[in-house]
Structure 1
């Protein structure tokens, strides 16, 4: 049987200077909380991480650093313990590069349920111009962007979300800023990939929201298992009959079938 309970989770974290409070909280409690949550839900979990800062000359330390998926949570804890909040330059950061590298450089398991949790407090470069073009607004956004027209990476909302779709990755955004552009950027990236975005005001709330997002996804896996077993029992794909057997509305059953199909369980 293909491993329905395989979950590959990659954190994409802004580690510029303004993110110190979240990094401290993550070092204290993030992985222990997730470990308990995954054990309670019988999840076979791997965790990876991408940290991002900014493009030179705004930041000369690095643009991204990639830490591969691992089931050894103690090993990932050591990675998180070594994170340092520093640098950043102008307002926006290398958000697109962080998401893109997570999608393309993680070694996702074949049929795993794949998530990115994007945590930051600043928009990507060029997002104000992108938003204005997409919405036909005349307002100009002043976010102190050194590259207001386009990100120097060549990436934008369409390219990073298409990359996520190609790798079957759902992105959830946790925006630690009251900045409207940052919230809108995280929201649109998440929604296009089928995820959700939550605006949070402090580091403790971020940990709580991460747990809430994962709990919801893990509960989906439990329901998906029931739907898969019912489809296999029927012997063919029939959403209405499956919903009838499970005594459930058709809509959540159809959503479960879509998730199972995306992961290759209905081939």
Structure 2
């Protein structure tokens, strides 16, 4: 989450926590509709899965790990029973004539792991066509599922291509899908319904598009979620479990402070940023600690990318956004990630590479190494983080600790490495337990405001 999220709601104000405020004041009616109470020990989780030809490894990973995913969400999320977790599944491909198999396949919510596994097995990667896919149709289908009103909710979109209608080269539906749906409108409906849309950006394919990454970042801004880039399907279960556990923590706090936060925001007396900062300070003072999914992004943030995310967040539709978008100059990836890929490619090209001292790329003229460091470093006011390791997806396997994997080539005793093994070492994903972050406080603030805001015209 970042500053663009705040622009989605504009400037806003409030009164101190604990005081009654807003239009009407005193004992009058609040200036907002209290959001539906939810039980943070119940979770409805939906996978929206791209099932076109390039996504086979991600479908296989989800199928293989669905049991351990469910088990760890229930156990580490302290859900009372397995029935408290329901998983729904949406598979999508593309519209005819780009793909004549299906546009979407919807599977209802279930708590049965064998049923989930059979549903995933029925999906396989095939087809596609022009590049962009029926992402919008997948989001629409997810909204149409039978969500429990009293459960925490979330979607995870797993994709390597954007939706139609954002100006990508060779788009078979340049004005958007033939169903007439707009993903920005649908994301705002998700935000109002309290359904964050987490995105697993399958790389490097997604960043091969001009605007796809910016659009997916906007989805997470609007719905108060996170985008996690992955270069290997082997880390998918880590991201799903970590995202779900962090979201349950956020939902618990929204139920506790959401109405008070929303009342202050809709009263129009402070900015969203000010409310979030005060909320963060107060939660830290009471020692509030949360589970936090931590990863070092491989994406390079630029003025153009920030501009594009802001345009998507604020635009009424894709059609309104397209004329304002700016092309990104240079690579979408950080210098650190590009260097790790260069070094690993060099290593694989040399027999007996384990004994070679790998060279590093010289810095580009005008580059600043510190600028590519993770933006997720701990705030000075936060207590030390503790790595959570009690559940299987974050435990070491085959000599690889995901939590400790460096951004670069690692095990010197391994004589040769496959592309996928290198990718596992080229990313770090971990779940930590730490004092609540300012970014989490912003997500709580904006999510509370969306859930209580009047319908957007």
What's the TM-score bracket when you normalise by the shorter of the two chains?
0.7 to 0.9
Between the two structures, name the one with larger relative contact order (CA 8 Å, sep ≥ 6). 2
Name the SS of the counterpart of 2:219 in structure 1.
helix
Look up the match of 1:125: 164
Look up the match of 1:65: 105
The one of 128, 135, 154 equivalent to 1:95 is 135
C-alpha offsets along residues 207-238 of structure 1, whole Å, 9 cap, x if unaligned? 3222221222233355567x47xx9xxxxxxx
TM-aligned CA deviation for residue 187 of structure 1? 1.4
Change (3 A) 1:175 1:244: closer
Contact 1:175-1:182 within 8 A present in 2 as well: no
Look up the match of 1:150: 176
Name the SS of the counterpart of 1:184 in structure 2.
helix
Look up the match of 1:85: 125
Q: Whose helix proportion is higher, 1 or 2?
A: 1
The one of 176, 197, 204 equivalent to 1:171 is 197
Gaps of 5+ in 1: 129-140, 232-238
Look up the match of 1:3: 39
Contact 2:224-2:447 within 8 A present in 1 as well: no
Contact 1:11-1:118 within 8 A present in 2 as well: yes
C-alpha offsets along residues 174-196 of structure 1, whole Å, 9 cap, x if unaligned? 11133243322221112111111
Gaps of 5+ in 2: 1-36, 261-277, 289-435, 453-457
Aligned runs of 1:1-267 on 2, under 5 Å?
Answer: 3-43=39-79, 44-103=84-143, 105-128=144-167, 141-142=168-169, 144-176=170-202, 177=205, 178-180=207-209, 181-221=211-251, 227=256, 246-247=286-287
Contact 1:191-1:197 within 8 A present in 2 as well: no
Query: In structure 2, how many angstroms separate the alpha carbons of the residues matched to 1:172 and 1:244?
Result: 25
TM-aligned CA deviation for residue 170 of structure 1? 0.8
Look up the match of 1:131: none
Query: In structure 1, how many angstroms separate the alpha carbons of the residues matched to 2:252 and 2:244?
Result: 13
Contact 2:47-2:155 within 8 A present in 1 as well: yes
Contact 1:22-1:206 within 8 A present in 2 as well: yes
- Which segment drifts farther, 26-35 or 194-203? 26-35
C-alpha offsets along residues 63-98 of structure 1, whole Å, 9 cap, x if unaligned? 001101112222111101221111111100000010
Contact 1:111-1:263 within 8 A present in 2 as well: no
Change (3 A) 1:187 1:253: closer
Contact 2:95-2:103 within 8 A present in 1 as well: yes
- The two structures, once aligned, show a CA RMSD in angstroms of 3.0
TM-aligned CA deviation for residue 148 of structure 1? 1.9
Contact 1:5-1:221 within 8 A present in 2 as well: no
Name the SS of the counterpart of 2:196 in structure 1.
strand
- TM-score norm. by structure 1 comes to 0.78
Query: In structure 2, how many angstroms separate the alpha carbons of the residues matched to 1:255 and 1:23?
Result: 29
Query: In structure 1, how many angstroms separate the alpha carbons of the residues matched to 2:47 and 2:93?
Result: 14
Change (3 A) 1:164 1:261: closer
Query: In structure 2, how many angstroms separate the alpha carbons of the residues matched to 1:74 and 1:263?
Result: 34
Query: In structure 1, how many angstroms separate the alpha carbons of the residues matched to 2:222 and 2:284?
Result: 31
Change (3 A) 1:210 1:37: same
Look up the match of 1:137: none
- Which segment drifts farther, 165-174 or 51-60? 165-174
Aligned length: 240
Query: In structure 1, how many angstroms separate the alpha carbons of the residues matched to 2:218 and 2:442?
Result: 24
Query: In structure 2, how many angstroms separate the alpha carbons of the residues matched to 1:166 and 1:253?
Result: 18
